Structure 1
Amino acid sequence: MERKPKLLVFDLDYTLWPFWIDTHYDAPFKKISKTDVKDRHGNNVPYYEAVPRILEKLKRDGFKVGVASRTSCTSEAKELIKCFEWDQYFDYVQIYPGTKTTHLTQIKKDSGIGFQDMIFFDDEHRNIRDVSKLGVTCFFVHEGVTNEVIRCGLENHKSGVIHNL
């Protein structure tokens, strides 16, 4: 029987966007257009190009989608997610300082979805190591989420690979 995850969870910094929210840009953020957001100094705030289409496709394909970020800039991260219009795709949002195991444990509690039915994408080895111990399939993201990253994460989950470090 094919293993298909029910929930895909993403880190934010250097996973969905190419910066640390707490050091690179300053709130408040202003939505200029669907694809253009500026910080309070007028700097364009980027995201990895494929992310909006990937999030839309995952939702269309029936996956639950979540965010787990350990930043102390909780309100700023949530504000940016809203400006990018990604809030419509996220079923579960855990953004606060702390370990990713705490984030994923809360998502499990909120969703009722078991760790074995989740995939977690992150750019930090320590998070991949920690979360994989829960039994979550984890995929290390080198340079932002792409279609290939999602494909490989789904393949790892299907074949029972817990992490790819």
Structure 2
Amino acid sequence: MMRLAVFDLDYTVWKPEMYQLYGEPRLTKPSARVSAKVLREARTIEDPKILVDSSGTPIQVFPGVAHALAEINRLRDEEGHDIRAAVASKTDEPHWAKICMDYLVANDGSTLSDCFGDLVEIAFSNKKEHFRRLHKKTGIPFEEMVFFDNEHYNITSVQQLGVKCVYTPDGMLEGHWEEAKRKFGMS
């Protein structure tokens, strides 16, 4: 049974990566030139405002993450499924990542911070260490965890613990969430 869905942040949960931003993310009203797709993926709790860097580049949540987090919330809250979401990230701008998590939302309108709660591991160390800390915090066996990441070497490393992994080279799509559910016989 899938009990913990763990997400890398940069280029798995959102784009651009934190190191690509020009300055701290800030809320702003979008210009008329911003496409409907970008507005949908850059949605915040301060709708219609979006998060941008100082150059005006919007920070966007990949559609698969927005979908998966909303489904995790539904499975837990409405169906009583024992499932949670977490972060395992090596982002080099943890403060900026926190701002993004506080404002960006899943499809159900929940902030990413609300979705992940206290299960946020951000440190520049091997992802195995992130998972050991998540296991210690939750008591959830590695075999009941799934990990989404766009870096293949992180996938290879974490798989050694027994975690089921889904490679998301171009950001997380809904198909990646469906693949994870299949790995646990949930589809």
| TM tier, smaller | 0.7 to 0.9
Q: 2:164 aligns with which of 133, 137, 141?
A: 137
- Matched with 1:112 is 139
Between the aligned partners of 1:105 and 1:58, the Cα distance in structure 2 is: 22
Structure 1 segment 84-163 matched on structure 2, within 5 A: 84=104, 85-91=111-117, 92-158=119-185
Between the aligned partners of 1:48 and 1:116, the Cα distance in structure 2 is: 26
Number of residue pairs aligned between Structure 1 and Structure 2: 156
Alignment deviations for residues 122-153 of structure 1 (CA, whole Å, 9 cap, x no partner):
01110000000001001101322222111111
Q: TM-score, normalised by structure 1?
A: 0.85
Alignment deviations for residues 32-83 of structure 1 (CA, whole Å, 9 cap, x no partner):
5336212234332222134323211112112200011012211111111112
Between the aligned partners of 2:67 and 2:181, the Cα distance in structure 1 is: 17
Q: 1:83 aligns with which of 100, 103, 110?
A: 103
Cα RMSD over matched residues? 1.9
**Alignment gaps of 5+ in structure 2:** 30-45, 77-82, 105-110
- Matched with 2:14 is 17
- Matched with 1:34 is 47
Residue pair 1:37, 1:44 contacting (<8 A) in 2 also: yes
Quick check: which one's helix share is greater?
A: 2
Percent identity over paired residues: 29
1:99–1:31: structure 2 CA closer, same or farther, 3 Å change rule? Answer: farther
Residue pair 1:119, 1:157 contacting (<8 A) in 2 also: no
1:150–1:112: structure 2 CA closer, same or farther, 3 Å change rule? Answer: same
Q: 1:65 aligns with which of 55, 69, 85?
A: 85
Query: Offset at 1:13?
Result: 1.1
Q: TM-score, normalised by structure 2?
A: 0.76
